[in-house]
Structure 1
Amino acid sequence: MAIEIKVPQLPESVADATVATWHVKPGDKVSRDQNLVDIETDKVVLEVVAPADGVIGEIIAAEGTTVLAEEVIGQLVEGEGAAAAPAAAPAAAEAAAPAAATGGEALEVKVPQLPESVADATIATWHVQPGQAVTRDQNLVDIETDKVVLEVVAPADGVLAEIRQAEGATVGADEVIGIVMAGATAAAAPAAASAAAADSDNDTEVAGPAVRRLLAEHGLQVADVKGTGKGGRVTKEDVENHLSKKSAAAPAAAAAAPAPVLGEREEKRVPMTRLRKTIATRLLEAKNSTAMLTTFNEVNMKPIMDLRAKYKDEFEKRHDARLGFMGFYVKAVTEALKRFPEVNASIDGDDIVYHNYFDISIAVSTPRGLVTPVLRDTDKLSLAEIENGIRDLAIKGRDGKLTLDEMQGGNFTITNGGVFGSLLSTPILNPPQSAILGMHKIQDRPMAVNGKVEILPMMYLALSYDHRIIDGKESVGFLVTIKDLLEDPHRLLLDL
């Protein structure tokens, strides 16, 4: 027998309440007096308990819904009614999707194993929706950690039947986030979609009685207000926000003055991605935990520009690589690191760790933020290998394909703000590294050369370093070495 789950009597002077938290879901077995749902008013939180042993058949009012006293918010099937519960459950959004994928084997879509030291991850983007056909190894969803983005692919051909963890949810390794019905087709999906559309057209499903009453008082229809509640339900707050925007726009529209009418001023609040939060934390850590100082110099880029102009076509044809500036920068930095080992070192507690290898982090701008993948053993790479390596890292960064191994390590960082037009900056250290080199925009400037003024393509260099390990003499000498090598690139090629 089906028993109604109702909102209890509300305290005096309280007109309505909000469904705060459901502690059960359709199909769950419950016992008499078990707390099923919390109802929140502006004064107290009320617990609604099970009137008898049984199974939850249907949840009518989702979390966030505004409800009245004695309003029916769910149904309980009394006794061992597990078989009866699924019949009532199709009204729930979660049950509609699997119906579109009948006739196949249910396979779990799980979060992959996370990198070491990564405790959890965030669902970034679902690329398919319930009811859509998928093919084996098709990317279904991107999982974002604070270091890399992991792709989760379909385990077989079939239909995505269910999404269990929505975008923005925090998940752990091996957690089930969706269901794929292997071998199923999407033929049944339109039926489920049409049923969902019919539900959305029904005002009683989209808004509770209190909300419909508020809409009626202001001459509004449910369709006039965008719902932000679960399943697109319209909440009391949605109506109030709609009314406040409408009232704010009215004075401007009614103003008799000939001044131009400004549109609505809107704000958009978006949660930080994990990568952005990690970047923020690390930048703050670098400022607070190091004795950071920046020294500057400038370099005449004409010799390198002349060399590129002369050999770039032949270089590209021979090595299938573009002869850019970054190859020269990396070569010059590698040579300078050999001469100044303190700059290639790092602090570990009370020890200084000198690295006898040359792994250089290259700052790459991606849609998710700035990342610093590592180009390893740069002392063993040719100019063409450096250019190809940087290109590959940049493409992987843009497409979110960088691996954890490519992101870890690095003894020194090069960042090139010049590609965005930056003339001068003070780059922030990339801990535990001790120094970072900022390259900038190449710009023609009048320079004094042998007593005469010449217009030369000049670029500012900025070296930020940790003064705890690198003294001023070493930092200036390091930067001057880079300047000398870039102004006479033949030294790089001849190893002088």
Structure 2
Amino acid sequence: MSVEVRVPTLGESVSEATVATWFKKPGDTVSVDEMLCELETDKVTVEVPSPAAGKLAEIVAAEGDTVGVDALLASIAESGEAGSSTDVRERDGTAPTYDAPSGDDEVRKAAPAGGSDGGETVDIMVPTLGESVTEATVSTWFKKPGDSFAADEMLCELETDKVSVEVPAPAAGTLGEILAEEGTTVEAGGKLAVMTTGEGSGSGGAAAEPAATPASDAGDAPQDGARSDTEDAPSAKKLMAEKGLSDDQVTGSGRDGRIMKEDVLNALNQPKASEAPAAKAPPRAPSAAADADREERVKMTRLRQTIARRLKEAQNNAAMLTTYNEVDMSGVMDIRNEYKDLFFKKHGVKLGFMSFFVKACCHALQEVPDVNAEIDGTDVVYKNYVHMGVAVGTPSGLVVPVVRDADQKGFAAIEKEISDLGVRARDGKLSMADMQGGSFTISNGGVYGSLMSSPILNPPQSGILGMHKIQDRPMAEKGQVVIKPMMYLALSYDHRIVDGKGAVTFLVRVKEALEDPRRLLMDL
């Protein structure tokens, strides 16, 4: 009996990944938990271990393919297997007409003994949706009744509160009746559709496909024949269906011309060269109908609805308040300019601003531990450590890896860890563990030019510090106006646990430590 290798859970809000590297090839022997392949997402790299010992029988998703959560990657023939056809004969006493790549025993038993003419009906069911997830919404059907398909070809996509789940065909055949239309909410184990086996393009029947022959029918371009056997990325299919694009309007950049999601986005962003400039239409009076013609109404995905609900719940559950102050950055800039060369020569890493802010926050959290605590039911959990979340910019957006035990580390160790996390973040090599467990967060909107903002809490944390742009401003000093490099600081905190006095005290201690960094050395 073969064992399926499927895409594991990729993390909250992550619904698809790209197959980066296969460490094994078909025919290789594998042991339990041995690494088979590596997947890359927008945030992290995920390794896929072998679920059983045996031989790698078939690779379904090649390197470069985009796959969804729970999608089929490969199949493994377990050790001691005599062959799928022998197994079916022993169970049924009949010779099977095909070997279903999915390894589904029930589908094999439903296979007709007389070939493609005598196909039997098979129910297409909702797969396991994950721990604590009991229902999903049918997002997109990639096939319609009467369409033929091969085994493991994507039939539809489901959306849950956490991830998107693709439903592959359990065997080659033809789609009969769709029981759950798009937008329908279905439960785990529910019935999605009915199919007939043995009639699809991949059923192994006697009829040969014209697209598989070297010479295509008259009038067909060779490129079209090559594309007919190429399965586009499910995410690309979904986007093309939503935007009303056909595959001949998109140029695929994947293997064998496979259309990826990025190709669809590029096609949508490109101006249509074939369209000549239209004659300028006479201006018409503004009306609600005219505005409606330029609007697009798109139903929120189940995942986006969940994100919106949870963000609002974070605001509703926490008594969130923000207090502000400003800091003269002259002291930090002077000491940084004085020692940056020696610092780099000794430690091999540049001396940046973030280590000063991390150390200043750790110093302030010692005096105001409420900002580093969290509420758990009717208890307050005080943390005798500081796991500092530090924002890092990446091509796909901001991520917040955690510098653990930052209160016990010096400037050099903090700068090295921030540098390492930054490189791994930009390369997409951060793990989920790297971004979990923070007790306090620093958000640096200043790198994007933000002068003032109110950062939102990251529950269950009770505090987050917002850094902003350093800007020269006229300041009064000893009765004279002088130009100083100033930065606004913002502390958002949960007023249920942090009083106003504690929040202001925390921010003042951060300000004092940054304006006179020598205070950090003397623990003042």
TM-score normalized by the length of structure 1: 0.56
Q: Find 2:323's aligned residue among 280, 295, 299.
A: 295
Contact (CA 8 Å) 1:446, 1:456: kept in 2 or not? yes
- Equivalents in 2 of 1:180, 1:193: separation in Å? 29
Map residues 71-220 of structure 1 onto 2, 5 A cutoff.
Answer: 110-111=6-7, 114=9, 122-127=15-20, 141-142=39-40, 148-152=44-48, 162-163=60-61, 167=66, 169-171=68-70, 176-178=72-74, 198=216, 201=221
Cα separation, 2, equivalents of 1:198 and 1:345: 69
Please, which runs of 5 or more residues in structure 2 have no aligned partner? 29-33, 78-209, 229-245, 260-267, 283-293
The answer for the alignment partner of 2:494 in structure 1 is 466
CA–CA separation in structure 2 for the residues paired with 1:350 and 1:378? 28
Deviations 1:12-68 (A, max 9, x none): xxxxxxxxxxxxxxxxxxxxxxxxxxxxxxxxxxxxxxxxxxxxxxxxxxxxxxxxx
Q: Are 2:434 and 1:414 equivalent residues in the alignment?
A: no
Instruction: Show CA shifts across 1:96-153 (max 9, x none).
Output: xxxxxxxxxx9975435x58xx699633224489xx99x9989653257xx8441459
CA 1:272–1:330: 2 relative to 1, 3 Å: farther
Does the CA-based 8 Å contact 2:39-2:45 persist in structure 1?
no
CA distance in structure 2 between the aligned counterparts of 1:429 and 1:166, rounded to whole angstroms: 37
Matching of residue 329 in structure 1 with residue 228 in structure 2: no
Once residues 428 and 382 of structure 1 are traced to their aligned partners in structure 2, the CA distance between those partners, rounded to angstroms, is: 28
Q: How far 1:376 moved relative to its partner?
A: 1.0
Q: Is the 2:19–2:67 contact (alpha carbons within 8 Å) kept by the matching residues of 1?
A: no
Which residue in 2 is equivalent to 1:455? 483
486-495 or 328-337, larger mean C-alpha shift: 486-495
Q: Distance in 2 between matches of 1:110 and 1:438?
A: 41
C-alpha deviation, 1:286, in angstroms: 2.2
SS at match of 2:345: helix
Distance (Å, rounded) in 2 between the aligned partners of 1:368 and 1:270: 24
Report the Cα offset of residue 321 of structure 1. 1.4
CA offset digits 1:401-449 (Å, max 9, x no partner): 2223222211110011111111111000010000100011111000000
Of 335, 338, 344, 1:316 maps to 344
- Tell me which amino acid in the other structure corresponds to 1:307: I
Q: Counterpart of 1:425?
A: 453
Following superposition, the deviation at residue 304 of structure 1 comes to 0.8
Matched, 1:482 2:510: yes
- Are the counterparts in 1 of residues 57 and 74 from structure 2 also a CA contact under 8 Å? no
Tell me, yes or no, if the aligned pair for 1:163 and 1:179 is still in contact at 8 Å.
no
CA distance in 1, matches of 2:515, 2:305: 39
**Contact 1:292/1:429 (<8 A) preserved:** yes
- Of 277-286 and 400-409, the range deviating more from structure 2: 277-286
The one-character-per-residue Cα deviations of 1:317-364 (angstroms, maximum 9, x if unpaired) are 001111100000000000100000111111001111111111111122
Change (3 A) 1:161 1:380: closer
Structure 1 partner of 2:147: none
Q: Mapping of 1:324-363 within 5 angstroms? A: 324-363=352-391
Q: What amino acid is aligned across from residue 221 of structure 2 in structure 1?
A: D
Q: Counterparts of 2:213 and 2:295 in 1: how far apart (Å)?
A: 34
CA contact 1:137–1:156 (8 Å) conserved in 2: no
Distance 1:489 1:137, change over 3 A: same
Tell me if the contact between 1:301 and 1:486 (Cα under 8 Å) persists in the aligned partners. yes
Q: Deviations over 1:163-183 (max 9, x none)?
A: 299635331xxx6414699xx
Q: Indicate if the aligned counterparts of 2:7 and 2:69 stay in contact, CA closer than 8 A.
A: no
Structure 1 spans left out of the alignment, 5+ residues: 1-105, 182-191, 208-221, 234-241, 258-264
Q: CA RMSD in A?
A: 4.9
Return the alpha-carbon distance in structure 1 between the equivalents of residues 381 and 353 of structure 2: 30
Conserved? CA contact 2:443–2:466, under 8 Å: yes
SS at match of 1:457: strand
AA paired with 1:253?
Answer: A
Deviation at 1:271, TM superposition (A): 9.8
Amino acid at match of 2:73: I
Q: How far apart, in 1, do the equivalents of 2:402 and 2:247 lie?
A: 52
Asked if the contact 1:162–1:180 (Cα under 8 Å) also holds between the matched residues in 2, the reply is no
Q: Distance in 2 between matches of 1:405 and 1:334?
A: 22
TM-score (norm 2): 0.53
Among residues 395, 399, 419, which one is paired with 1:391 in the alignment? 419
1:253 aligns with 2:278: yes
Counterpart among 415, 440, 458 of residue 468 in structure 2: 440
C-alpha distance in structure 2 between counterparts of 1:385 and 1:281, whole Å = 39
Counterpart residue type for residue 336 of structure 2: R
Aligned twin of 2:405: 377
Q: Whole-Å Cα distance in 1 between the matches of residues 297 and 65 of structure 2?
A: 20
Aligned partners of 2:211 and 2:226 also within 8 Å: no
Q: Check conservation: 2:38, 2:48, Cα contact below 8 A.
A: yes
